[in-house]
Amino acid sequence: MKINGGATLLLLLALFLSESAYAVNCQAPGVQASDAKGGTFNVYVHVGPIYYGDRFVIYLGDYIQCESHSATGNASVLPPGDDLWRIQNASLSPSLVGFSGSINFFNWYDLPLMGSTASESYQTNLYNKISLMLALQFATDGAPGVTVNAGQLLATFTMASRATAGPNSAYQETLPITWNIYAQNDVSFNARGCDVSSNNMTITLPDYPGTAEIPLSIHCDQSVNISYYLTGTTTDSANTIFSNTASASPATGIGVQLSSRTGVIATNNNISLGLVGTSPVDLGMTASYARTNGQVVAGNVQSLIGVMFIYQ
């Protein structure tokens, strides 16, 4: 699920840039990759019975992090439009019989990927989780259960980036980085039994410091225990303030925070909804602005937040 909070703060935007050369480095468990060398790398991910609308979702940012490497070591933000990398090829493993697939990279794209996705840039010399989700779904409604085995290939995707040799230099395509995504555990998927009110949702925040309710609910064919948790890139040690991912005139010093009826929600923290049946149960979430480190500078604010459902 995608929740975008977009708003423009009523301040003047000032952005100062350092002159340096940029490249992309990535890391995953046991893997160091760079677009200076390119290559193909294997990543093993935990696959659980996670329900997300009619999709089973794996948040790949939990396993792969990337940075924009500056030769000068300056931790500056690239200017708007200087997006460093995108996904240009992605496909589901043919061994996943009974499934179709898609990825979410700011938008949903069906697999196999036809063309390139949107682009993303990062703060220099600071590793960030990639904003990529892999979704598996049954190819037809009412499909029987399917078992995925440990070590089974799930999907493959290729990152394409561009870099500059220095200030005032033209951008050039660098060597691609290809990731093979494997299951690290056995898991059985069962046919769909629950629905969320929306698989993709855009929430528009009013001017700072306004808040907005998130009208998200879930219901099931029969009573089942439901929990949910949030995923996404955060900026604070408590993992409660989601990073501003706006690429055009981004604000600084500001992120987005989600709250439930009991308080602020941290990522990867299971929140129980109890038994959910045929009557929709509202999650009762609210989106708001939150201060991060540094001075507040006006601009656009946008965050990509995933809501993952677990049912038993």
Residue-range definition of the domain harbouring residue 262: 3-13+22-311
- The number of folded domains in the chain is 1
pLDDT at 63: 95
Report in angstroms the alpha-carbon separations of 81 from 3, 77, 127. 22, 11, 20
User: Residue 266 has what pLDDT?
Assistant: 94
In whole angstroms, give the CA distance from residue 24 to residue 68: 5
- Which CATH number is 127's domain given? 2.60.40.1090
Separation between Cα atoms, residue 164 and residue 23, nearest integer Å: 8
* Helix/strand/coil (H/E/C) assignment for every residue in 159-205: EEEEEECCCCCCCEECCCEEEEEEECCCEEECCCCEEECCCCEEECC
- Residue 141 CA: distances (Å) to CA of 55, 144, 195, 209, 229: 12, 9, 13, 43, 26
Tokens at 111, concatenated: 């697999």
Element (H, E) at 196: strand 194-196
- pLDDT values of the chain reduced to their tens digit, one per residue, 312 residues: 333 333 333 333 333 333 334 567 899 999 999 888 899 999 999 987 654 445 678 889 999 998 876 554 443 334 433 446 788 899 999 988 778 899 988 888 999 998 888 777 666 678 888 889 998 876 654 445 677 899 999 999 998 876 555 555 555 667 899 999 999 998 877 655 788 998 888 888 888 888 999 999 999 877 888 999 999 889 999 999 998 888 888 888 888 999 999 999 999 999 999 999 889 999 999 999 999 888 888 888 888 899 988 876
Let me know how many helices (H) and strands (E) the chain has, helices first.
Answer: 0, 31
pLDDT of residue 201: 87
